[in-house]
Amino acid sequence: MSKNIVLAVTGGIAAYKSAILVRRLKDYGFDIRVVMTTGAQAFITPLTFQALSANPVHTTLLDPDAEAGMGHIELARWADLVLVAPASCDVMAKLAQGLADDLLSTLYLATKAPVWIAPAMNQHMWSAKATQRNLETLTADGVHVMMPDAGSQACGDVGRGRMPEPEVLAEQVFAYFQQKQRDLAKKVGILAGQRVVITAGPTREAIDPVRYISNHSTGKMGFALATACYAAGAEVTLIAGPVSLATPFGVKRHNVTSATEMLTHSLACIDAGCDVFIATAAVADYKVAEVATQKIKKSGDTLAIHLLKNPDIVATVAEHTRRPFMVGFAAETQHVEDYAHKKMIAKKLDMIACNDVSRSDIGFASDHNAMVVFFAQQYAMSAQTLPRATKFQIAEKLVESISVALTQLKHHRA
Ligand code: C5P
């Protein structure tokens, strides 16, 4: 996509991820010019970005090589988007204050292009009152914030403050321009007007106040689908279990913990109006019959916990009087296609995407996936094999299939 992106890199350990971000943005065909603050240059050299972006890197406000010595004005006009990633605590404060004493801060004030920031910092610095105040100011000023993920930090802490993975940032920039281009051309996307609800991630079933039953799902497939559905023009709601992923651009999100909560939110979304329901969540099959109110103390050599079957969310929604188009997922370790096909029929789904989670190069936690997709009998669509690709690429293919099946459904009903 021929759009110009100024990538501003500021001082933080996440700056190393920005090198990969340049690659991922270039994969989408964007032209990248990198601006580096002095702090950023302590972590990574301008030469790295020059080589990766194939453009000169800008580091100073008063640049004798820039046209009329005004690099900030040239860059401000050139940019279709200014992306500050990572955005340090200090830079957020500066931008919120409107200071103008270096290239990035002056560029920020001079540009008419949208500005996106991907904050990255120690969890305590992120939750500090001053940072949260600056975040509010920046949001009110129209800056789009790509919220940090939670997880382990370079400083040894565990908490919120990690910059989202470069692939995720690049996908979201791409989805934004795709949507914008379509708006400009007054063209509709293949899912325009469709209200899509996606369940994603694991569920967590409490045993006592400190322990729970869960699984290894990271939610990446569901989040990639949310981005792809938004890019295709849909109105998207994500019902996310406990995952440490940033909310995709343009997507509404509800956070839930248990399967019961996920079902309640799903049914509320169906009541509010939903055309397509995509169940990517790895819902725990069982929950604890009686959750202990106090921490269970260690006693005998064995401990029995009585489990009860959880509600089947996708099957419940498929029985609803306002049943939307239903898409299921099946993660299996053996007889993958056979089990998936049976699941599609048992749960009354329109289509099911299945993958083999015993493979370490795809599936859980991986950024890649490979799938086989089956369609219910009423669709004139044969099974599709989607070879190994990034989860976003797989998601785009699934969106195409959903759109084709929806068109067939419309013709059936007409
Ligand atoms: O866990 P299982 O293999 O049955 O999951 C198949 C599909 O059903 C998936 O789309 C999953 O999100 C959905 N599911 C659900 N509620 C459950 C179990 C599975 O929505 N309790």
Query: How many A from CA of 252 to the centre of ligand 1?
Result: 22
Residue 333 has a pLDDT of 82
Q: Is 354 a catalytic residue?
A: no
pLDDT digits (tens, 9 = 90+) for 86-109: 999 999 999 999 999 999 999 999
pLDDT digits (tens, 9 = 90+) for 129-182: 999 999 999 999 999 999 998 877 777 878 888 999 999 899 999 989 988 877
State the pTM of this model: 0.83
Indicate if ligand 1 lies below 6 Å from the C-beta of 221.
no
Q: Is the pLDDT of residue 339 over 80?
A: yes
> What domains can you pick out in the chain, each with its CATH number?
4-172 (3.40.50.1950), 189-413 (3.40.50.10300)
Query: How many A from CA of 284 to the centre of ligand 1?
Result: 8
pLDDT digits (tens, 9 = 90+) for 206-245: 999 999 999 989 999 999 999 999 989 999 999 999 998 8
Residue 376 has a pLDDT of 95
Q: Kindly report the protein residue whose alpha carbon is nearest to atom 9 of ligand 1.
A: 329
Q: Is the pLDDT of residue 362 over 90?
A: no
Residue 238 has a pLDDT of 98
Dist CA 38 CA 58 (whole Å): 11
Residue 153 has a pLDDT of 78
Q: Is the pLDDT of residue 68 over 60?
A: no
